[in-house]
């Protein structure tokens, strides 16, 4: 079992979609929301995921395929 801290950013078209519910339901991943701000034009959610590493990876790939952006919690770690 592993844990991963991630930030999801929802574009306008995905704001109303139950992505986090489906991540927990369709994959064997526990989702734990720590901070969020959802508005009409966009939304972001900072959360911790717990599960087998391979299952978290599979779940995150699915989240990315929906159009929701997945990032490390501290933003981009690549600097100039």
Partner 1 sequence: MAFVSGLKCRECSREYPAEALNVCDFCFGPLEVVYDYSTISEVISTDSIGQGPLSIWRYQDLLPANSQGRVDIMAGFTPLMKAGNLGKHLGLRNLYIKNDSVNPSFSFKDRVVSVAATKAVEFGFDTLACASTGNLACSVAAHAARAAIRAVVFIPSDLERGKIIGAAVYGPTLVSVAGTYDEVNRLCSEVADNYPWAFVNINMRPYYAEGSKTLGYEVAEQLGWRLPDHVVVPAASGAMFTKIWKGFNELACLGLLDGVEASSFGPDQNTVHHPAVTTRMHMTQAEGCSPIATAWKNGQEHVLPVRPNSIAKSLAIGNPADGMYSLRVVRASDGTAYAVPESEVVEGIKLLAQTEGIFTETAGGVVISGLKHLAESGAIKPDELTVVYITGNGLKTQEAVEGVVNPLSIKPTMTSFESALEERKSQEAGVG
Which residues of this protein are in contact with partner 1, per CB under 8 A? 5, 7, 9, 11, 34-35, 37, 39, 41-42, 44, 46, 48, 69-80
Q: Provide, rounded to whole angstroms, the least separation between the CB of residue 33 and partner 1.
A: 10
Dump strand ranges (E) for 11-61. Answer: 30-38, 43-51
Q: Provide, rounded to whole angstroms, the least separation between the CB of residue 41 and partner 1.
A: 7
Residue appearing with tokens 């592993």: 2
> What is the rounded distance in angstroms from the CA atom of residue 2 to the CA atom of residue 6?
13
Q: Is the CB of 44 or the CB of 62 nearer to partner 1?
A: 44
């Amino acid at each position: 079992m592993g844990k991963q801290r991630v930030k999801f950013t929802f574009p306008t078209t995905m704001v109303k979609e139950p992505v986090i519910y489906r991540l927990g339901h369709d994959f064997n991943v526990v989702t734990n929301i720590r901070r969020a701000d959802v508005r009409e034009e966009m939304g972001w959610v900072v959360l911790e995921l717990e599960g087998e590493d391979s299952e978290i990876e599979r779940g995150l790939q699915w989240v990315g395929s929906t159009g929701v952006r997945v990032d490390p919690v501290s933003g981009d770690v690549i600097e100039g």
